[in-house]
Amino acid sequence: MNLLDTVRRANRPGPPEHSVGLRLACGGAVVTGIAACRAQGELSWTVAVTSIVLVVTGMYVSYRTRSRPMGWLKPLLALAAVAAFVWFFRQLTGQELYDVSTVEDPLAMLFVWIQVAHAFDVPARRDLAFSLAGSTSLMAVAAAQAVDLGFGVYALAWIAFGLWGLIRMWGSASDGGRIRGRALVATVAAVAVIAAAVLTILPAPQVTGRIDFPANSAGGAGLPGTGGLTGDAGRASEPARAGSPTGATRVGGFLGFATHLDTALRASLGNAVVMRVRAQRPSYWIGETFDTWDGQSWKVPKTVPIALYSGSPFAVPSAADAPTVDDPPAGQSDLQTFYMAQSSPNLIFHADDAADIWFPARDIYISGNDTIVSPIALGPGAIYTVRSVTDTPTPAQLEQDTGPPASTETPAQAKALQADLTLPHPYPRVRALAERITAGKTTTDAKIEALIAWMGSHTHYSTAIPPLPAGADTVDEFLFGNRTGFCEQISTAMAVMLRSIGIPAREAVGYVPGPYNPITDLYEVQGKDAHAWVQVWFAHYGWQSFDPTAVVPLANPSPGATLIHDTARLLRGLPLVPLGAVLALALLAALVIRWRRRRPATWAIAVSRRMERAGKRAGRPRRPGETLAEYAAILDDTAGDASRTWGALAWLVEASAYGNHEPSAEERRHAERMSRTTGPDRKSNGAFPGSPPTPAAVPVPRRDSPLPPPEGGTPSAGGAG
């Protein structure tokens, strides 16, 4: 066999596939994959609509020509496939693979191109199977960019088309065979149970690789100002605005993302998702820090913003006036990608300490310690990535950090640290309270933990804080007045208490991780996750975050742990009594339906089953092909029943089922009474092995004779068997 014959044999069309359902299922799976890629922004509307139309057209043409495939079309489709691969590799030539979409967008286009070309040549079952399998690639490319559960709609539609296609394919391969509904349900249930079990034992995901650094401006326009937070000018178009007692809050309802943080204002936090974050580990995602406290509000440090013009990735330098850490330990790299779901302040959120930033702008600004400012508005769809170098010492390590506050090298650095010890006026009562709480504690960490414990047991968390009296100090009012507040008041009071006993502290605002989605591997940060906490300076570890009102986990949870936690939380929130009543009614209804379905449809069937059960108990089950009369005679002979009780009952059954005689109610009752008191499974009245039973009142009638009457009754007309 030469090469040409081999090629011809490989391309010889298979038997034509006539199943319209199989073709619809395979085409639907491909169309769903294309739509999913469009939903993730990997295809334009023009490409998506055109390709869907071409796939549908190709499937129709292939169906019409399935018995006589167009041989001249194969070379053209092969050339189209080669052209698609050439185009794909040309798209990647010379690219810097910083963004995974650099590969995925052309890859989605390549897969669509192949599916469109293939749709015009699917005459046989094996060709349709390739289309169904190829749609998996489209769904995989779309899933790689999915950041919310909206993708689940496309996944469910694709699974439905795929399952339909597999069922139709099996039916076609088996020449019209059908899968029982019960078997199909059992299979799907088994697959679901196995998938849930696998999801439960999966380890926590790890964000790795040097290619997945996406950045997208989502059309963000430039903002006025140079390196500062916008919003204080009062223009409604600006993304951030300081809170006021009379105006509506912005930025998810949190009041801290501006040049000052007023602790006298109530918070208004919503459940809407503000952003989604994929991170190597959960953390406090800092927006900005405050070091100046005036008794009611925090203010940002007065520094000149540092402009970074290097382009992505921006290398973040240490602030020139930042205190120096003594012998800093090596930190861990932490990659975080932020997907904005709503308009955001022009802050670049990040875990401490930011080292590199992939951001869709030509420049960014460093404004004060740990505050990174964007020059463009960040609306829905904006994406940026930050690599931080985190150093989270253990409590034991912090306990050993007993050195001086810092080893400063310049006056500017000493001044910066002094700002984190400054108070607007003496707080004698606050200092006395802090000293009493921390009495006997010799390390900074021990004092912090003592203050956190006291806050937890002596203060009440509520966003509906009492109004601050005119001229009052927030901390004095909180600690010695109402002791009611939320994260801003509690963290502020703790920062002032620390400063009053000589420990440098500052206020930080940003977000804590929201609910973790094990399907997308993303934290869904909601408006209510906006937060304020305390940062404390350690000589060997720098600024460390402490929170008296929230806890950030140490690592990403595993899918199984998340699933169990969410299920338990759901169960705790269910109303047990109404739910139990509903379940009980549902169970009762199911039992009634099952009983009605299993109940014999006729009297004859009921008696036949009773006879079979009696014989089975006696050790003589009914054999295949054995008539009821034959079986009854064997039971009577085996038991030595001279009255032929079962035979008479079998005659009644056959007369009812096959003849023109319908036994009366009295005849039925009499025969059933005799069958209950005399039979092969009744040892007390002659069941085998044993003596013959007492004579019964129902003799065995001949097929052509009238049925003998029951005791005290009148003869009834018999019927032929």
Alpha carbons within 13 angstroms on the beta-carbon side of residue 583 total 7
DSSP states along 431-460: HHHHHHHTTT--SHHHHHHHHHHHHHHH-E
Task: Give 326's pLDDT tier (boundaries 50, 70, 90).
Answer: low
Percent of the chain with pLDDT over 90: 19
**Amino acid at site 269:** L
Which residue did the predictor score with more confidence, 402 or 665? 665
Residues 143 and 154: their CA atoms lie apart, in Å, by: 10
**What's the pLDDT at 491?**
93
- pLDDT surpassing 80 at residue 532: yes
For the record, the structure tokens of 539 come out as 């000589």
- pLDDT surpassing 90 at residue 135: yes
DSSP states along 615-646: HHHTT-PPPTT--HHHHHHHHHHHHT-TT-HH
- pLDDT surpassing 60 at residue 96: no
Query: Model confidence over 280-297: pLDDT tens digits?
Result: 888 899 998 888 899 988
Lowest mean pLDDT, pick from 18-22, 210-214, 454-458, 691-695: 691-695
Residues 493 and 52: their CA atoms lie apart, in Å, by: 61
DSSP states along 372-385: EE-SB-B-TT-EEE
- Closest by CA to 256, choosing from 244, 272, 242, 271, is 242
**What's the pLDDT at 677?**
60
Lowest mean pLDDT, pick from 574-578, 589-593, 676-680: 676-680
Task: Give 58's pLDDT tier (boundaries 50, 70, 90).
Answer: very high
- pLDDT surpassing 50 at residue 693: no
**Amino acid at site 627:** T
Phi and psi (nearest 5°) for 458?
Answer: -120, 0
- pLDDT surpassing 50 at residue 518: yes
**What's the pLDDT at 719?**
33
Determine the average pLDDT of the residues in 126-149: 84
> Do residues 544 and 552 touch, judged by C-beta distance below 8 A?
no
635's CB contacts (< 8 A; 6+ apart) are: 611, 614, 615, 618, 620, 641, 646, 679, 680
**What's the pLDDT at 285?**
92
Q: Could you give the 3-state DSSP secondary structure of residue 70?
A: coil
Around Cβ 149, how many Cβ atoms within 10 Å?
12
Considering 9-18, 67-76, 402-411, 548-557, the range whose residues carry the highest mean pLDDT is 67-76
Residues 81 and 115: their CA atoms lie apart, in Å, by: 9
Pairing of strands 484-485, 460-461: parallel
- Closest by CA to 529, choosing from 546, 548, 550, is 550
DSSP states along 49-65: HHHHHHHHHHHHHHHHT
**What's the pLDDT at 56?**
94
Burial annotation 311-343 (CB, 10 A radius, 16+ → b, else e): ebbbebeebebbbebeeeeebeebbbbbbbbbb
**What's the pLDDT at 95?**
55
Query: Model confidence over 154-163: pLDDT tens digits?
Result: 988 999 999 9
Q: What is the largest CA-CA distance in the chain?
A: 126
**Is pTM, for the whole model, over 0.85?**
no
**What's the pLDDT at 697?**
39
Residue given tokens 């806890």 in the structure block:
551
- pLDDT surpassing 60 at residue 454: yes
Residues 660 and 229: their CA atoms lie apart, in Å, by: 97
- pLDDT surpassing 50 at residue 566: yes
Phi and psi (nearest 5°) for 576?
Answer: -65, -40
Query: Model confidence over 643-673: pLDDT tens digits?
Result: 777 787 788 777 777 766 667 777 777 766 7
Indicate the length of the chain as a whole number.
721
- pLDDT surpassing 90 at residue 495: yes
CA angle 272, 275, 280 (to 5 degrees): 135
Give the neighbor-by-neighbor strand order of the sheet with 522-526. Answer: 314-315, 354-358, 383-390, 332-340, 273-279, 522-526, 516-517
Write down the mean pLDDT value for the chain: 77
Burial annotation 551-572 (CB, 10 A radius, 16+ → b, else e): ebeeebbbbbbbbeeeeeeeee
Pairing of strands 285-290, 314-315: unpaired
Query: Model confidence over 21-44: pLDDT tens digits?
Result: 999 999 999 999 999 998 887 888
- Closest by CA to 274, choosing from 239, 244, 226, is 239
Residues 544 and 682: their CA atoms lie apart, in Å, by: 85
Considering 231-235, 293-297, 321-325, the range whose residues carry the highest mean pLDDT is 293-297
**What's the pLDDT at 11?**
60
CA angle 214, 219, 220 (to 5 degrees): 90
Determine the average pLDDT of the residues in 214-241: 60
